[in-house]
Amino acid sequence: MSVLFSLNGQVHGHYTAEFITRSLKMNLLKSHLLIHVDCTHMDYEFRKELFMASRDRLKDGEETRNLRRFLATKLSKSGSRLWEIEKRRKDSISVESSDANQLIRDFTKNLPINSELMKLLDQTFKLDLKDEKHIKKEKEKKKTKKKEEKQPFKPERFPSCFKLMLKNDGEKEITKIPLGGEKSIPFQTDAEDHYFDRIEEPGELKIALLDFKRNEVSGGNAPGKIERVQDVINVNKSGPKEGSIKLIMNPTQNAQTGDALKIKATLTAPGQDFEEVFWVKISEPKAPKEKTPKEEKIDESTLGLPEFVLVYREPHENAATWEEVENMSSHEFGWKTVMYPLVEGENLEKMFINMDSNVLKDFKSEYKHAGEDQLNLADRKYISSVYFHTLFLYTITRNRKYKIMQEKGDREEYVDLGSYLMDVFESYYSEFILNFGGVNELMEGLGY
């Protein structure tokens, strides 16, 4: 169970890790994330369409699908806490490899643009096929652009400031939040990025309602006494990140046009708390924008094929280590591992290729009295074989819309594409493509 739906403290349904990989597209968090959805105060008519009497799963209905979409949208939103944690994990390994980029460039350059192979890849990846003149012009443009100098952020263990970044006179609302929409309220601080998440002496951002006003002419009566901000507005915080904290606010079903809330935001710190007091107001829903037909333009910033990173047991220049990949991915990375594909949702972003795998060592051992050139050739064959076989297995599996299931005891479980590919290469497939990867090797092996 990765997502629990509870009612009065009892679990009435759940999602597996499949929700985290397919809906949230946060594969790196699938082994670490537990989401608890408290449905106790959910609208009764909606809630009764979710749960079955057996409490083993949710009903398969429109309400359940709407709830899944709602959770996926809110939790995976850019800038959210989960998004920041996922990004932090991905950024923990930053290796630039000129060899990797050159291999990919050579591959795309030598492929005929009208080939069926190119069409297959282009359905999944945006291939960078710009000519040399275009690349040269882009480099010249970048050189002419002056980079704005940004003051380096100097984080503090405990904040010494907390400032609202919108104009605030204490009387008028600083922003209007439309019904059905949301607004982000920015604050500046000097607290370090992990201030809310660290184990020792973490800080807290408290939100309190100081005053509430409802326009009786246009709205009617409030549903009971409004005592908390959450009675009218859902509040989520994002950050701190390089000195920035954001409050993301969106109205609840109890909110009405004209509602005004006086809110106090308190950033805690030892010895002194920092406070900001401001008004926000609920406004009419935004009218949907009319879509005007636009001419299709070629995206000049097209993405190429996913890069690969070489991984060794011990530190190497321009390479990652087993330990670094394990910490990032939560997958065991050892002698048996051939590669780890970093798949986010359905996007293959990067491949980590193990240069200390048993498969490569056994392959090299077949060369008797091998010189440095032969060993380098074996490395290149191993890298290119693993990379391109992974690439095409991934591309075909995704384009043909296969869903991978695995039997575990008396039930079947969904397996994300990254885990499937990793397991395939550990299960003798890599040995096969190294020893019989080409037609000549296969024919020789068969005695022809």
- Would you say 246 and 79 are in contact if contact means Cβ atoms under 8 Å apart? yes
Q: Residue 448's pLDDT band (boundaries 50, 70, 90)?
A: very low
**Alpha carbon distance 160, 270 (integer Å):** 10
Of the candidates 86, 68, 88, the one whose C-alpha atom is nearest the C-alpha of residue 19 is 68
- Inform me whether the pLDDT recorded for 440 exceeds 60: no
55-92: per-residue pLDDT in tens?
777 888 888 888 898 888 888 887 788 888 887 777 76
Question: What is the model's pLDDT at position 252?
Answer: 87
Banded model confidence at residue 241, pLDDT cuts 50, 70, 90 = confident
| C-alpha span between 399 and 116 (Å, rounded) | 14
pLDDT band at 279 (very low <50, low <70, confident <90, very high): very high
Amino acid at 159: P
Q: What is the CA radius of gyration of the chain?
A: 27
Query: Which sequence spans correspond to the domains of the chain?
Result: 3-90, 162-283, 307-445
Structure tokens at 309: 């990173």
Cα 170 to Cα 207, 212, 278, distances in angstroms: 17, 14, 6
What are phi and psi for residue 261, nearest 5 degrees? -125, 130
Separation of alpha carbons 108 and 413, rounded Å:
36
Inform me whether the pLDDT recorded for 191 exceeds 70. yes
| Whole-number pLDDT of residue 317 | 83
C-alpha distance across the termini of the chain, in Å: 53
Q: Could you please state the CATH topology (level 3) that the domain comprising 162-283 is classified under.
A: Immunoglobulin-like (2.60.40)
**Helix or strand or coil: residue 103?**
helix
Mean pLDDT throughout 310-324? 89
Q: How is 400-446 classified by DSSP, letter by letter?
A: TT---EEEETTEEEE--HHHHHHHHIIIIIHHHHHHH-SHHHHHHHT
**If you average pLDDT over every residue of the chain, what do you get?**
78
Q: Is the pLDDT of residue 313 over 50?
A: yes
Mean pLDDT of 181-205: 90
Whether omega for the bond prior to residue 240 falls within 30 degrees of 0, making it cis, is yes
Find out whether 303 and 197 touch, Cβ atoms under 8 Å.
Answer: no
345-364 tens-digit pLDDT: 667 888 899 999 988 888 88
More confident: 102 or 206: 206
Least confident segment among 156-170, 208-222, 273-287, 295-309: 295-309
Assigned token pair, 4: 């629990």
**Residue 233 reports pLDDT greater than 70:** yes
Confidence (pLDDT) at 187: 93
Q: How many CA atoms lie within 13 A of 182 on its CB side?
A: 16
